[in-house]
């Protein structure tokens, strides 16, 4: 896309705005009123790779929420957690057994999350922190029924 570069639009408090930058085919401003990030697609799908893609941003959100949730819990329970590292991957996979798939093949989204806990933790503390990972708000959102209302303005 060779056209004008657009200025970032205004953002109302409490809102997120995503808008094309005008630079490249897919580049987007990601704005929350306090921070400005850029998303793009990788070069192998026609983007300029100037920022993470949509699924990478989704995984980053889940990873950040997981790490923050574990830090909050460890601090509150005085668990000697020194550091949390979360590694994530996303794939679309055919289910081995899909009773409701009908005649057409269906691919299910699969997120693999590996959590590294650094610190002098016993097995019980590690197990409890692993349980808490599934309680992070983004994890709960992704595993719940989601309604997205869309309208033109």
Judgement on whether residues 101 and 39 belong to the same structural domain of the protein: no
Say whether pTM exceeds 0.75: yes
* Domain at 77, CATH number: 3.30.300.20
Q: Considering the chain, what is the average pLDDT of its residues?
A: 92
pLDDT for 1 equals 45
Is residue 72 in some structural domain? yes
Among 65, 17, 10, 64, smallest CA distance to 39 is for 17
Which tens digit of pLDDT belongs to each residue from 105-144?
A: 677 899 999 999 999 999 999 999 999 999 999 999 999 9
Range of the domain at 19: 1-51
- Mapped onto helix, strand or coil, the DSSP state of residue 81 is strand
Among 5, 32, 9, 36, smallest CA distance to 21 is for 5
Judgement on whether residues 58 and 25 belong to the same structural domain of the protein: no
Is residue 151 in some structural domain? no
Average pLDDT over residues 43-54: 96
On the question of pLDDT at 100 being above 70, the answer is no
Is residue 68 in some structural domain? yes
Count of domains forming the chain: 2
Cα 153 to Cα 43: distance, rounded to the nearest angstrom: 32
pLDDT for 96 equals 63
Q: Which of 35, 51, 67 is the last residue of a domain?
A: 51
Angle CA 15–91–107, to nearest 5: 100
């Amino acid at each position: 896309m060779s056209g004008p570069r657009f200025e970032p639009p205004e953002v109302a408090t409490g809102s997120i705005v995503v808008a094309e930058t005008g630079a490249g085919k897919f580049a987007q401003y990601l704005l929350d009123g306090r921070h400005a990030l850029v998303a793009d697609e990788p070069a192998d799908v026609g983007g300029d790779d100037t920022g993470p893609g949509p699924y990478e941003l989704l995984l980053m959100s889940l990873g950040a929420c997981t790490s923050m949730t574990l830090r909050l819990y460890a601090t509150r329970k005085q668990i000697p957690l020194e550091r949390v590292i979360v590694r994530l991957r996303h794939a679309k996979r055919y289910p081995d057994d899909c009773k409701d798939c009908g005649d057409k093949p269906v691919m299910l989204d699969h997120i693999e999350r590996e959590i590294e806990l650094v610190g002098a933790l016993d097995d019980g503390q590690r197990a409890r922190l692993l349980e808490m990972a599934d309680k992070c708000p983004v994890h709960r959102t992704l595993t719940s029924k989601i309604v997205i209302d869309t309208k033109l303005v």
